[in-house]
Amino acid sequence: MSQIFPGEVFANTADFDNGIRQLLPKYDEMLAVITRCLPSRSSRILELGCGTGELSLKLLKHCPDAQVIALDYSPRMLEFAQAKIASAGYGQRWTGVQADFGDWAINPEKLNIGRELDGCVSSLAIHHLQDEMKLKLFQRIAASLHPNGCFWNADPTLPESSTLAEMYQAAREEWANQQRINLTEVRAKVGQSSTQGYSSQDQLATLETHLQMLTQAGFKTVAVPWKYYGFAVFGGWL
């Protein structure tokens, strides 16, 4: 099995866009919710862990004047995202930066991102950090947003009990069966994740823990605009 960075999921980058939609129920709906949570007038948006650029593309369409700065530590993901976004005609409004957002949380001076962001977003990336680092990242995000800025994250969350964990897994299996998806075939394309920087294999926290950390980081309003079993979109405003 091929060694990959956390978040790359598939050994072949070209398998990601289709494969993630087969592994995760309602993937596009989840990204659409994040996109709607950002005001369309936003001008500077930071994306943490941009992957193949699917969320970036939705943000660029939704926010016609926005510049999107996208961080990812995977060169192959950035290259794939750059080509996709350029092909869609948004290349002038998107900047991909090879960087570890865990490192940015601790050493912000390494990246010239500034402190006047309208919004920050992430999907399927922050759950690779330990909880201590999640909190430091949330604090860094809060310090980088302007006073009315917002942050939204889509991630798997830790089930609050073993009963819920079983129920969530059963729901995913049922969904896959309804879609006639052969999960064995899809999972065969998944690579073996290795630690990269501050990220490693899944290090999930409960939804309540995330909301407490956001409050501790300085977000005055926290919210969960979307949840589907073990996946959630959560965040808030300063």
Report yes or no: 62 and 50 within 8 Å, Cβ to Cβ: no
| Cα–Cα distance list, 132 to 111, 205, 214 (Å) | 21, 11, 12
Instruction: Identify the CATH number of the domain defined by range 3-237.
Output: 3.40.50.150
- Phi, psi of 217, deg, nearest 5: -75, -10
Radius of gyration of the chain (CA): 17
- Binned at pLDDT 50, 70 and 90, residue 129 comes out as very high
Q: What is the pLDDT at residue 194?
A: 82
pTM of structure: 0.96
pLDDT digits (tens, 9 = 90+) for 71-110: 999 999 999 999 999 999 999 999 999 999 999 999 999 8
- Binned at pLDDT 50, 70 and 90, residue 154 comes out as very high
Report yes or no: 46 and 63 within 8 Å, Cβ to Cβ: no
Helices then strands, counting H and E runs in the chain, come out as 9, 9
> 72 has which bridge partners?
98
Q: What is the pLDDT at residue 2?
A: 65
C-alpha 41: how far from chain center: 21
- Among 38, 6, 37, smallest CA distance to 127 is for 6
